[in-house]
Structure 1
Amino acid sequence: MNAGMRNALYRFALIGLLGLPVACNQYSTETLPMNPVVLLGPPDGQTSYTGIAAIERISGGGHLLRVSAQNSELLFQGYRIFQASSEAAVMALSADAGTDCGTLFTYPVLGIVYTMEASTAPKLTADNLLCSFPINLTPGQYVSIRAVYQAAFGQPSTTSLPSNALIVPP
């Protein structure tokens, strides 16, 4: 390639780069909806329809939660569990009122049933275990889970919409 052609190519590229910010005006500052988690079971905990024990008590303490979760978003960080005395109350809790899960053992990108553990003395033996919440759930309380996402630099993390709420069995 001769020098004249190289200079023309360089100038064309420079003009294109300088014009790029002016030409890109089709963008949005609205946030994208995040995938909420789904607790697998009806609100009253009955398993006759699904055949899946959505919340199962672990002998020796703690609970296993069966969920459908598929979070392939770039800024996905993990999960946060919430518990309250009613379905409305657990859905209305602020994003920072929950307890974060620990290390992710599996990254939830497949459309399969995953398990989360809620226990202060985790066993970490469930199939398809996503993570463990360092909290003991209270029987009779409602629980809900939200996905946690990193926000803009210097901003607190944000969460997805709440999952459905289920009653913790005795």
Structure 2
Amino acid sequence: MKIVSFFSRYSFAVLVFLFGFGCTNYSTTASVQAPPTLISITNNGNSNFTIKVRAQNPEFIFQGYRLYSGISEKEVQNPTDLNLGTDCVLASSTIVQPVEYTFEIDPSQKDNATGVSCRIFATLTPGTYIAMRTLGLAVNLQNSNSSFKVSPSSNALIVP
């Protein structure tokens, strides 16, 4: 009886001690998101393209994807400025299995077509290259700033 009484009276203090002072396994480095894999790109006509992407993003910091386009594979996979891509912000996801996304790339401001995960408002030119990176939310608790942290690059595809 006295053991039960001790834990019920002091359970809060014990929990604070164990978790507040006993936990030293935390990190101050940002989580790295897994890069997506570009499966295919299809030209739908009128500067409209459909991209199939396979990705796995179980972390709660997952925000979406950033598309890069350029004249070479090296340029799209290693841009001079990681902020120069075009974003597609998706709803947060708790998915832990790989998912196949369908993105539509179109310069017009139309709504998503049926079955399209996200529309990216960009203009692509046949013969150029594309690559994508995953966007993760990076929060700095010291100054209350937040920004996107990007993953390593995906593979590159040539625009048909």
Measured against the shorter chain, the TM-score band is 0.7 to 0.9
Q: Percent identity?
A: 29
1:124 aligns with 2:124: no
Q: Distance in 2 between matches of 1:55 and 1:8?
A: 61
Residue of structure 1 equivalent to 2:48:
62
Q: Normalising by structure 1, what TM-score?
A: 0.75
Greater strand fraction, Structure 1 or Structure 2? 2
Q: Distance in 1 between matches of 2:37 and 2:30?
A: 21
When Rg is computed on C-alpha atoms for both structures, the one with the higher figure is 1
Question: Relative to structure 2, which stretch is displaced further, 14-23 or 159-168?
Answer: 14-23
1:80 aligns with 2:66: yes
Residues 78-114 of structure 1: per-residue CA shift (max 9 Å, x gap)? 111011111111111132110112555x959453532
Please give the root-mean-square deviation of Cα atoms over the aligned residues, in Å. 2.8
Match of 2:135 among 138, 148, 162: 148
Distance 1:96 1:11, change over 3 A: same
* 8 Å Cα contact 1:99/1:134 also seen in 2: yes
Residue of structure 1 equivalent to 2:22:
23
Distance 1:145 1:22, change over 3 A: same
Q: Distance in 1 between matches of 2:89 and 2:18?
A: 46
* SS at structure 1 position matched to 2:147: coil
Q: Normalising by structure 2, what TM-score?
A: 0.79
Amino acid at match of 2:117: L
Residue of structure 1 equivalent to 2:158:
167
| Structure 1 unpaired stretches of 5+ | 41-53
* 8 Å Cα contact 2:47/2:124 also seen in 1: no
Q: Distance in 1 between matches of 2:52 and 2:7?
A: 61
Equivalent pairs, count: 152
| Structure 2 unpaired stretches of 5+ | none
* 8 Å Cα contact 2:64/2:136 also seen in 1: yes
Distance 1:97 1:17, change over 3 A: same
* SS at structure 2 position matched to 1:158: strand
Q: Distance in 1 between matches of 2:10 and 2:89?
A: 52
Q: Distance in 2 between matches of 1:11 and 1:62?
A: 64
